[in-house]
Chains A and B, each alone.
Chain A
Amino acid sequence: MTASFSSRGLNRLRPEGEDREASSNVVHACQVIAHCHLALGIFLIVLAATATWWIFEISHRLRIIDEFRLIDSPEGTAPSPNPDIILNFGVAVGVLCILNAGILFRCRNGLRAFTRTRRVSDLHPAMRRLRTMWLFFSISMLLITTALIYLLQKEILPPV
């Protein structure tokens, strides 16, 4: 009983009726999108592993090739920074993928909470999480695209 008279509980039961049920098309859309978020999150984790592994192998290869160059060049020649740049890029890609996967799972939980209760009061946090998901996803996409264009343009990363 005390819980129902708490300030949070009273706020939820405003006269405007945030406790009312949302329309079925929103509920259905959220149900559909929640499954997509789960699938995308799982594959982003897989991508974090495979892409980082691939980039690590490229960095390793460039380091070995640089070793050949250093053997032939006179002493005191500095090693190339390219393997480290690519390694850092790989780590950044892995971290961004994991971060986005976590946000997608969080967003999916919000959407599922809304579809379970069907209340408008639960739609607000779900939409807020969806906005956050898009925020992180778009910024990650922008960063990765910019870095890819830079690395391919400078021929640091071999074209696939």
Chain B
Amino acid sequence: MESGSESPFRRDEPVFSSRKWLLIAFISAFAWLIFTVYVKGRQMTEAEDWGMDLFWLVLQLAAQITVVGFLFHALRSVWRSGERRSFELIGIAVKSQRGFLVGITILIATGSVFFAMWAHEYRGLNTGLKQRAQAYRIWKEHTRRTPAPPPSTEAPPVSPRPPSSSPPASSLQLDPFAPQQEQPPSPSPSQP
């Protein structure tokens, strides 16, 4: 390594050392990888059919492991470069970053496409949801304004059908990720 055109090394020869910054980046990327496994694993245990989830998990993990591997390779080269003053080692350290940079560029490009798709999808859903919220508010205000009928002394006729009321907002399935609230059991119209 130390032989070649640049030997013996001069004291003014530059050193490329970003060890701690690369180490921080590596730790962050590794934590991200572990957390992806945790989140996806939790999602898969909750889902009934996780064939597609497994596919996405494998794909995502493969991409992330590749990027983390490249980052580790870059970190190792930079570590060596920081120890000695050598153009050759600097060249290796700089060149070893290429894999990580290419990997993260591909990951970011793919992520951008997905983010744009999801954002577009969410936009359409949000428009519909907003209209429903406005209609619900108007209906709620209308029922508040209308005075309730005076309570009669006679008992109301028993109807086999349950009283028609608007479903609560929690049962509208607004958000698939929202926690489901337990509803009290209501009599079925088909029951006598």
Residues of B within 8 A of A14 (CB): 12
Residues of A within 8 A of B39 (CB): 152, 159
Contact B21 A138 (CB under 8 A): yes
Contact A50 B115 (CB under 8 A): yes
| Cα–Cα distance between A101 and B39 once the two chains are bound (Å) | 29
Q: Which bucket holds chain B's interface residue count?
A: 35 or more
Shortest distance between the CB of B190 and any CB in chain A (Å): 28
Question: Which stretch (B147-155, B156-164, B171-179) binds chain A?
Answer: B171-179
Contact B35 A149 (CB under 8 A): yes
Residues of A within 8 A of B122 (CB): 54, 57-58, 60-61
Contact B112 A60 (CB under 8 A): no
Residues of B within 8 A of A50 (CB): 111-113, 115-116, 119
Residues of A within 8 A of B15 (CB): 127
| Cα–Cα distance between A22 and B9 once the two chains are bound (Å) | 12
- Closest chain A residue to B17, Cβ basis: A131
Q: Number of residues in A with C-beta < 8 Å to the partner?
A: 61
Q: From the candidates B40, B108, B140, name the one contacting A47 in the complex (CB within 8 A).
A: B108
Residues of A within 8 A of B22 (CB): 134, 138
Residues of B within 8 A of A67 (CB): 133, 137
Shortest distance between the CB of A103 and any CB in chain B (Å): 12
Q: From the candidates A25, A30, A51, A155, name the one contacting B88 in the complex (CB within 8 A).
A: A25
Query: Which of A53, A57, A152 has the largest number of chain B CB atoms within 10 A?
Result: A57
Residue B32 lies at the interface, judged by CB distance under 8 Å to chain A: yes
Residue A112 lies at the interface, judged by CB distance under 8 Å to chain B: no
Residue A13 lies at the interface, judged by CB distance under 8 Å to chain B: no
| Cα–Cα distance between A143 and B15 once the two chains are bound (Å) | 28
Shortest distance between the CB of A62 and any CB in chain B (Å): 8
Shortest distance between the CB of B138 and any CB in chain A (Å): 10
| Cα–Cα distance between A49 and B87 once the two chains are bound (Å) | 39
Answer whether A130 and B16 are a contact pair too, CB < 8 Å, given A33-B95, A57-B119, A61-B126: yes
| Cα–Cα distance between A91 and B31 once the two chains are bound (Å) | 23
Answer whether A33 and B28 are a contact pair too, CB < 8 Å, given A71-B136, A137-B21, A159-B39: no
Interface of chain B residues 18 through 50 with chain A (CB within 8 A)? 18, 21-25, 27-29, 31-32, 35, 39-40, 42-43
Top 10 nearest A-B pairs (CB, nearest first) are A68-B169, A25-B91, A36-B101, A57-B122, A138-B25, A29-B95, A50-B115, A134-B21, A158-B177, A138-B24
Known: A29-B94, A67-B137. 12 other contacts (CB 8 A): A16-B12, A23-B4, A23-B88, A28-B91, A33-B98, A39-B105, A40-B101, A40-B108, A46-B109, A51-B115, A54-B116, A160-B118
A-B contact pairs, 20 of them (CB 8 A): A16-B10, A22-B87, A29-B92, A32-B98, A33-B98, A46-B109, A47-B108, A49-B112, A50-B113, A54-B118, A68-B136, A127-B90, A130-B16, A131-B18, A131-B21, A138-B25, A142-B25, A145-B28, A145-B29, A149-B31
